[in-house]
A and B are shown apart, each in its own frame.
Chain A
């Protein structure tokens, strides 16, 4: 059980980072609490609760700077405090890139947990494979982080590959941004567990744009390797220029499998995960291309 000396409840992100900096001891931000509260971490002195900090929103991305070329329609700005259930229910999310983020959100835990767990928590949680990161990676999402020095936008892939430098103690993730370019893609999410309602053994997402029967854009990402969620660049490179057919996607699955080196744990062996990543990436590609 937690043994906190303080729980702080800021009403803005600015206040949150200030309180975090000012409070002595070891602290964390908390939102839905579905990971931190049950952890019962004995080393936590304080929590900064974000649930009243105004980070709960899904809206068109106003600033077009990060949305790619004009004419694609706006991207989405997703408040880090948005609960997974609201993501799963959002029409704006469902309409984006074949609804990949909707699929991933609907696959998170169970109905009641989704009412509490938030986007921000799902992106930063790292001790088991969460479901949103692969979907966000294939949409080339970025995160808006904030600290006392100001705000900065970090590409999500960079965030995962270089987390130590990108995410310092007290840094607050306020928003996830999905670029408008993703409106030109179709994407799908795949998850595998022992049961339907389970923590993923592995999961994967893929996004494609097919023109004239050929793949002109491809993104693939996985989680559940025992390492941070990651894009599969070998797969993406291979796909460009290929025919969008079963053989291509099967080969892409083989490449996906070869390009990962997952760890073993009590849920599955690394060897099994390696194979399954091939299957899930292929299935995600097939479904994405059919959308």
Chain B
């Protein structure tokens, strides 16, 4: 049928299929700012204005737009003529990966069209259909408020002023992201935005069973379908055991995966792959593949996985690196310093508690997607939404048995990663489809596949035991963990290692013991997920800290401060507990924890609130009859990169006009690392950031970098940029000295020129021009690598305020303050964005997110209607505070900031719920039902909290 409508003021006519949705028609017409996110109308990345109203275009049948007017982000403004919302979003630092922002800006525009001066609530409501996973909505709301002249409820007085806190020219400035307006006008190219001639659509046929052997596969009907170009089963692809984890080689994760296997190990596991002309043909082909399964009893309870006689999940004979496949044990970790038993014996009190954390998903706005094709030399090119392009190249080459030099991996813009894209789960098989068909193939996961079949945060059971002296001094601590890695062991050793290594050093203790067993189950696969094991560890440890403090009758802050690690202390466990192996000695050189706490305490009015409580009282009255208000706190430390493991490299070359190309392997997945690295280079080179043209993550063209993980990019890759920039600068100074007829000593490079001690100066452009065209011609270009062994921890303190509805158990977070000692903030606006977004992700972990399964291992809530992440109306005001410490080992004093905000959230919420009600919850997430059960149990036991009555 013919669809005639008006798009961005232009009359358009296009033939559409009856089932086609407006999202696909618009993208087909070239409006690539309309993004595909969930296809259930839940996430809003595909938002367009239909007759002026924002609607999810994925649920609008194309034909329904007939005769109507559609506005896409492209119709709002462009680089040359941006809409004030576009420039406002960019200026405020609201756009991180920006995959959701195109839609959000359109919603905001529709709001301002009808409500030119919206209230805070109206702004939140107006963008409520646009889920953002990177930010805490804070800066987007501020951008809209700025245009609407809105007074926000958020008290911004405690927020970091957006002025340069340091002595530097550009480092420390909240400069706008290097991508510019293109990022918020539909111009930035994500993987799905690349067009290829003769493109085929890939699709994976997935297992409906949790544990089964494939007896036979008959793909003949699928292959016979017209428009189907390849059907791959385990018969058709190389069988190369590998780990899908994007880690340094050899990976510390077991080699327990093959591209396609004769056995399926979870509902959603790969069975076969198809390439066809259209998505619907690919789906039909998958449905036509006939598979005969021999069912095996699944292992769904991870506490029973190691039981005698439990079904063996990895019974294949070619897997390597599995600790004990016969007992479903993927990995084990053990580390002890001091003698914990001796410590417990000496202790006045010994506390022991068990905590449980659930399956959650990083859920980036853009699901996994890759496009592969053969270039003019028949080399395989992989365009992919990945955090680890160089690991992708290695793994794709290995599992497809083609030489590494015949593979090129290109990372375009990425719609968020958060760890789940530190994994090779679409590229290998997409490449196999291209190799089979010799045609370009695109393979993207739909939202259900993303949730079920990509990677998750590992569920764990954590037992903590702490011995303290009478005054509260910790004498011994033990953390025993059981980790569920699901069907495959990706990151199954290193994530739980970090559960211990990131959290345990926070408090001094003469004796510390850590152990972990990682087991397989027939459930979705664990992987990297922002925080990498630490959020699990911190939930347990910081809940436990609170429990101890309350039992001792101490202020929870005082107990923490007296035991916390200090500047100059040696991390007690770093050497024993490294990245799945022994680590490196670590001495704390900067520690802003006391200042973090001081600022948080003041901003959250911790003392004032506590002074309102009678001894033993829980909660203060809330905004309605049955509500109680409480505040809870958390401290945390994290790391900056993987010591001795992470390597980042940067190449800088000088151009004759005094500009530079910065080529980095580092992978900007929306965090703004391209901008940060440009700022670092420009600072060293004495130019403004726009003189540094960044190109990142292309295995043919940029130097190596491990990728974006482990909070490493600013610290590790930034260090490489400093080194490369210094080498380029020093070489420029040699040329400048000749031009100035002065010695190279004492020359400085700043403000776009080289200045001699005598005061004589020459512009950098003249120097660069002379280097390229003058007497001693050369291309000034240097590559530097950076590896560190320090891993300086950022520190954080947080205070969460909750209002608990004691009749329903629903918890409303009304305020969240988080201060992070991040060393030096290279870009304060982007750093705040990391904190705000990390906190919001943590709130989902604490309160609403949980992957749920039925008795056969099928996920019950594999969509964004049922898997609830925080929307703009659910998000509290999040107040990010940046604490500066100037880490001597970091570039311009920087440490990391991206993961630590997630660590602090769940325990702060748990502690706040306790403070409000007296109910101690040790089992995430805190659903209303669980909270209410806690309140009722307390009442039944005649407890001291809300249930006791009379204390209101």
Contact = CB atoms under 8 A, between A and B. Distances in A.
B19 A111 contact: no
Interface residues of B, number: 55
Interface in A52-95: 52, 85
B66 A9 contact: yes
Nearest to B52: A115
Contacts of B863: 38
B576 to A, nearest CB: 40
Contacts of B866: 199, 266-267
Contact of A111 (B1, B63, B125): B125
Contact of A33 (B59, B66, B927): B59
B761 interface: no
Contact of B279 (A1, A32, A34): A1
B786 interface: no
Contact of B53 (A52, A85, A268, A276): A85
Contacts of B812: 196
Contacts of B66: 9, 52
Residue from the set A6, A7, A201 with the largest chain B CB neighbour count within 10 Å: A7
Contacts of A276: 808
Residue from the set A1, A128, A269, A275 with the largest chain B CB neighbour count within 10 Å: A1
A199 B865 contact: yes
A30 interface: yes
Given A1-B280, A272-B932, A194 B848 contact: yes
B19 A2 contact: yes
Nearest to B287: A42
B61 A7 contact: yes
A51 to B, nearest CB: 5
B239 to A, nearest CB: 32
Given A111-B107, A116-B60, A3 B873 contact: no
Contact of B847 (A112, A192, A195, A267): A195
Interface stretch (B127-135, B378-386, B613-621): B127-135
Contacts of A279: 807-808
Interface of B: 1, 17-19, 21, 39-42, 44, 47, 50, 53-56, 58-61, 63-64, 66, 107, 125-130, 279-280, 283-284, 807-808, 810, 812, 847-848, 852, 860-861, 863, 865-866, 868, 870-871, 873-874, 927-929, 932
A9 B808 contact: no
Given A201-B928, A266-B866, A192 B810 contact: yes
Contact of A197 (B807, B808, B874): B874
A279 B807 CA distance: 7
A12 interface: no
Interface in A78-126: 85, 109-113, 115-116
A263 B53 CA distance: 37
B1 A7 contact: yes
B478 to A, nearest CB: 34
Nearest to B926: A194
B129 A113 contact: yes
Interface string A184-220: 0000000011111111010000000000000000000
A269 B852 CA distance: 14
Contacts of A196: 812, 871, 873-874
Interface of A: 1-7, 9, 30, 32-34, 37-38, 46-47, 49, 51-52, 85, 109-113, 115-116, 128, 192-199, 201, 265-269, 272, 275-276, 279
A195 B870 contact: yes
A214 B66 CA distance: 55
B870 A49 contact: no
A194 B932 CA distance: 12
B767 to A, nearest CB: 54
A194 B928 contact: yes
B59 A116 contact: yes
Contacts of B860: 265-266
A6 B866 CA distance: 30
Nearest to B46: A112
Nearest to A286: B625
Contacts of A265: 860
B916 to A, nearest CB: 18
B55 A112 contact: yes
B586 to A, nearest CB: 39
A267 B66 CA distance: 38
The 3 closest A-B pairs by CB, nearest first: A112-B129, A38-B40, A7-B18
B871 A110 contact: yes
Residue from the set B21, B125, B863, B865 with the largest chain A CB neighbour count within 10 Å: B865
A195 B56 contact: no
Given A116-B55, A195-B868, 8 more contacts: A33-B60, A37-B58, A46-B18, A110-B129, A115-B50, A115-B53, A196-B873, A269-B929
A53 B716 CA distance: 61
Nearest to B932: A272
Nearest to A106: B125
Residue from the set B58, B60, B807 with the largest chain A CB neighbour count within 10 Å: B807
B873 A30 contact: no
Nearest to A8: B18
A85 B53 CA distance: 10
A272 B107 contact: no
A124 B659 CA distance: 63
Given A37-B61, A279-B807, A5 B107 contact: no
A5 B812 CA distance: 47
B63 A9 contact: yes
B871 A268 contact: no
Nearest to B51: A115
Contacts of A47: 18, 61
Contacts of B1: 7
B61 A49 contact: yes
A107 to B, nearest CB: 11
B107 A197 contact: no
Contacts of A111: 54, 107, 125-129
A38 B916 CA distance: 40
Residue from the set B55, B66, B871 with the largest chain A CB neighbour count within 10 Å: B55
A128 B865 CA distance: 11
Nearest to A114: B129
B19 A4 contact: yes
Contacts of B56: 34, 112-113, 116
B153 to A, nearest CB: 15
A46 B63 CA distance: 13
Contacts of B41: 34, 37-38, 109, 112-113, 116
A112 B61 contact: no
B119 to A, nearest CB: 14
B887 to A, nearest CB: 38
Contact of B44 (A46, A112, A128, A275): A112
